[in-house]
Amino acid sequence: MTAEEFEADPREARFVLECKMGEILAEQYQLSQDELTAVRRAASWWVSGDPERYTTSSGIRSYVSRAEKNYQEVAGNWGR
């Protein structure tokens, strides 16, 4: 899938994103053994390519913080 195809088809883009981020999140959970740390590391990987950078720069920290907040909101709605 090209970048143009990804941008042009939100449904397919979401499928690809969910598939890839599911793998990344599982991998980061294996490394951290903590759900929120795994979310932070996965968000850092997404925005910077490096899961270790979730505390390094203000731009990455800001993105990670928003991703963590969104994750907590979605997780809090599961089972309702």
Q: Where are the domains of the chain?
A: 3-77
pLDDT of residue 51: 95
Structure tokens at 12: 């397919």
pLDDT of residue 65: 95
Residue ranges in the chain modelled with pLDDT below 70: 78-80
Please name the residues in contact with 51: beta carbons below 8 A apart, sequence gap of 6 or more: 24, 28, 31, 41, 42, 44, 45
pLDDT of residue 79: 53
Q: What is the DSSP letter of 62?
A: H
pLDDT of residue 78: 66
Q: How far is CA 1 from CA 15, 20, 25, 39, in A?
A: 12, 13, 22, 25
pLDDT of residue 58: 87
